[in-house]
């Protein structure tokens, strides 16, 4: 399935890949599923069985149900490398754990193909931050929690489900794709450099619903605030961006819940809307 505009496929915001393997050798890819998402909507899918040129172990077959009979006559990974590379190369690629990243790398090496250059995002790590209260962040647990239809250990269904984890996490937390990539890279205190002086000097601010390098972040940094990646014990303000229509659902966001927990524990952290903070500081009110 591909959604097109004027005959040209839409460029996805991110793609998701899942692979199944035939045995304990991670290079033994026997199924590939890829799904592209644009603005929270699936816009294309790609799925193929793959002849791994390797043995099928009983354990792996019990997991995904595939055997050598299923892949008889299917292309090898060397045959499908170009298609997989075309979908992933130069894009943000999501996988539920980095098993798939390792499998692709091993398969490229085994079949003498060039490594696939892409920016990886682990949906397990995203889920753990978005829903820390869950006892497990396995894909089948998450899809049940989120109400997403899912056939576990089918590569295409797993890819689609992992993509929905990212979509729902963005909706749930107000953290955009760039923010999740920043978390993945461990950048905990990024954003514009705070001014040496100003009404927010010494404040450590987290913005919910807007980018840390966006207009609001630059405005607050110019007033002396240090823009942080996530709410922590040193955070002094959680600012709710006007760009995100939170409404009564704001309390569902992970950063908001964290701020409330810290307040209950005695930490002095203020939760304030962008409009109110701009008015208070006599900044431009939009």
pLDDT tens, residue by residue, 202-220: 999 988 877 777 889 999 9
Over the chain, what is the mean pLDDT?
A: 88
- Is there a contact between 231 and 255 (Cβ–Cβ < 8 Å)? yes
Distances (CA, A) of 58 to 23, 152, 156, 242: 8, 18, 22, 55
Instruction: Clarify whether residues 144 and 263 are in a common domain.
Output: no
Rg (CA), the chain: 22
Boundaries of domain holding 272:
204-280
pLDDT tens, residue by residue, 240-253: 888 766 666 677 77
Residue 284 pLDDT greater than 70, yes or no: no
Q: Which residue has the higher pLDDT, 5 or 254?
A: 254
Instruction: Clarify whether residues 50 and 127 are in a common domain.
Output: yes
Q: What is the number of domains present in the chain?
A: 2
Instruction: Clarify whether residues 215 and 140 are in a common domain.
Output: no
Structure tokens at 241: 């961006």
pLDDT tens, residue by residue, 138-181: 999 999 999 999 999 999 999 999 999 999 998 888 888 888 88
Instruction: Clarify whether residues 160 and 222 are in a common domain.
Output: no
Residue 261 pLDDT greater than 80, yes or no: yes
| pTM over the 0.75 mark | no
Residue 5 pLDDT greater than 50, yes or no: no
pLDDT of residue 189: 40
Residue 193 belongs to a domain: no
Instruction: Clarify whether residues 40 and 168 are in a common domain.
Output: yes
Residue 286, classed as helix, strand or coil, is coil
Instruction: Clarify whether residues 49 and 101 are in a common domain.
Output: yes
Instruction: Clarify whether residues 151 and 269 are in a common domain.
Output: no
Give me the phi and psi of 274, to 5 degrees please.
Answer: -55, -45
pLDDT tens, residue by residue, 24-70: 999 999 999 999 999 999 999 999 999 999 999 999 999 999 999 99
pLDDT of residue 210: 77
Residue 26 belongs to a domain: yes
Instruction: Clarify whether residues 175 and 263 are in a common domain.
Output: no
Domain finish residue from 180, 196, 217: 180
Residue 229 belongs to a domain: yes
Partners of 95 in beta bridges: 122
Residue 37 belongs to a domain: yes
Structure tokens at 276: 């109110």
Residue 106 pLDDT greater than 90, yes or no: yes
Residue 209 belongs to a domain: yes
Instruction: Clarify whether residues 218 and 88 are in a common domain.
Output: no
Q: What angle do CA 209, 215, 221 make, to 5 degrees?
A: 95
pLDDT of residue 2: 47
Rounded Cα gap, residues 69 and 35, in angstroms:
26
Instruction: Clarify whether residues 88 and 149 are in a common domain.
Output: yes
- Taking Cα atoms as reference points, which of 145, 163, 169 lies closest to residue 253? 169
Domain finish residue from 145, 180, 215: 180
pLDDT of residue 265: 82
Res. 266 pLDDT band, cuts 50 70 90: confident
Residue 266 belongs to a domain: yes
pLDDT of residue 201: 93
Instruction: Clarify whether residues 14 and 85 are in a common domain.
Output: yes
Residue 63 belongs to a domain: yes
Distances (CA, A) of 245 to 208, 213, 259: 11, 20, 19
- Taking Cα atoms as reference points, which of 129, 135, 112 lies closest to residue 165? 129
pLDDT of residue 8: 41
Helix (H) or strand (E) holding 43: strand 41-49
Instruction: Clarify whether residues 110 and 239 are in a common domain.
Output: no
Q: What average pLDDT does the segment 188-209 reach?
A: 84
């Amino acid at each position: 399935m591909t959604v097109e505009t004027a005959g040209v496929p839409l460029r996805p915001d991110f793609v998701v890949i899942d692979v199944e393997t035939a045995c304990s050798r991670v290079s033994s890819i026997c199924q590939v599923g890829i799904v592209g998402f644009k603005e929270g909507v699936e816009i294309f899918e790609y799925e193929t069985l793959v002849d791994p040129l390797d043995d099928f172990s009983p354990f792996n077959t019990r997991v995904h149900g595939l055997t050598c009979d299923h892949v008889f006559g299917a292309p090898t990974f060397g045959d499908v490398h170009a298609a997989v590379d075309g979908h992933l190369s130069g894009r943000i690629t999501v996988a539920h754990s980095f098993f798939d990243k390792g499998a692709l790398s091993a398969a490229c090496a085994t079949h003498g193909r060039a490594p696939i250059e892409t920016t990886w995002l682990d949906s397990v790590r995203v889920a753990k931050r978005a829903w820390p209260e869950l006892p497990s962040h396995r894909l089948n647990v998450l899809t049940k929690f989120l109400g997403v239809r899912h056939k576990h250990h089918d590569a295409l269904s797993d890819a689609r489900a992992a993509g929905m984890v990212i979509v729902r996490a963005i909706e749930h937390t107000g953290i955009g794709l760039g923010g999740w990539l920043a978390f993945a890279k461990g950048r905990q205190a990024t954003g514009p450099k705070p001014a040496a002086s100003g009404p927010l000097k010494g404040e450590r601010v987290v913005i919910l619903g807007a980018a840390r390098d966006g207009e609001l972040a630059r405005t607050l940094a110019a007033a002396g605030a240090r823009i942080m990646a996530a709410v922590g014990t040193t955070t002094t303000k959680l600012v709710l961006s006007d760009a995100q229509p939170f409404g009564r659902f704001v309390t569902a966001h992970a950063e908001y819940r964290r701020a409330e927990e810290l307040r209950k524990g005695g930490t002095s952290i203020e939760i304030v809307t962008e409009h109110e903070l701009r008015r208070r500081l006599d900044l431009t009110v939009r």
